[in-house]
């Protein structure tokens, strides 16, 4: 009888601990949005560090005709930091001039003439907006359906696309920087 009593005690203790601490699967799920914010913050720092490291003269540089210039890539990142969160229910701030219903507003935003300092300030503001919008997605609503450029997706899928998009342009900006003899600050 004693071993059975001990087994029940251990099973009860295990159930209490699982309830208090949560299962390993729940712990992983609870950390997904924290991980997303951390990854966006990491790529944000690198993009802004590159934007600061590149001289203003390199902002007009483009690898070939018909391809975005350095400044246009940076403005594209900022524009999409405003545009992508629309699918999560966070419209772009009116001050950005970006409208999800008028895609020409994005092109105007990306091609407008602004200084290097203004580009960097806009990048910083756009990342603040992105992080704020990301807070609308929680570990509990990741599977919720949203419309993303007319397509049905989950919030989780759009989060993954957002992070992939940022890393895509970080890689592009690293190549642009090195083509302009600028070493990424974290590589020194």
Residues 176, 61: contact at Cβ < 8 Å? yes
Task: Judge whether residue 87 has pLDDT over 50.
Answer: yes
Mean pLDDT of 74-88: 94
Smallest CA-to-CA distance from 77 within 162, 184, 185 is with: 162
CA distances to 32, 57, 87, 91 from 129, rounded to whole Å, are 19, 28, 14, 10
- What is the residue-averaged pLDDT of the chain? 87
Per-residue pLDDT of 146-180, as tens digits, reads 999 889 999 999 999 999 999 999 999 999 999 99
End-to-end CA distance of the chain: 68
CA distances to 21, 29, 72 from 123, rounded to whole Å, are 39, 30, 12
Residue 99: predicted pLDDT: 85
Mean pLDDT of 130-135: 95
Domain limits, the chain = 31-187
Residue 103: predicted pLDDT: 85
Mean pLDDT of 81-91: 92
Residues 68, 76: contact at Cβ < 8 Å? yes
CA dihedral 83→124→68→43, nearest 10 degrees, is: -90
Per-residue pLDDT of 22-67, as tens digits, reads 555 555 545 789 999 999 999 999 999 999 999 999 999 999 999 9
Q: Which fold has domain 31-187?
A: 1.20.120
């Amino acid at each position: 009888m004693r071993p059975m009593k001990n087994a029940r005690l251990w099973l009860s203790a295990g159930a209490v601990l699982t309830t208090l601490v949560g299962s390993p699967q729940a712990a992983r799920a609870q950390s997904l949005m924290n991980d997303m914010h951390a990854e966006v913050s990491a790529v944000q720092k690198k993009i802004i560090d590159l934007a600061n490291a590149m001289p203003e003269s390199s902002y007009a540089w483009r690898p070939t005709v018909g391809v975005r210039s350095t400044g246009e890539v940076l403005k594209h990142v900022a524009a999409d930091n405003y545009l992508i969160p629309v699918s999560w229910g966070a419209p772009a701030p009116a001050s950005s001039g970006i409208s999800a219903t008028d895609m020409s507003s994005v092109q105007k935003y990306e091609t407008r003439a602004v200084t290097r300092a203004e580009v960097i300030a806009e990048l910083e503001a756009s990342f603040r907006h992105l992080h704020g919008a990301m807070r609308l997605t929680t570990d509990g609503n990741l599977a919720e359906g949203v419309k993303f450029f007319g397509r049905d997706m989950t919030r989780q899928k759009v989060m993954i696309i957002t992070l992939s998009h940022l890393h895509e342009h970080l890689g592009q900006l690293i190549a642009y920087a090195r083509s302009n003899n600028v070493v990424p600050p974290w590589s020194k």
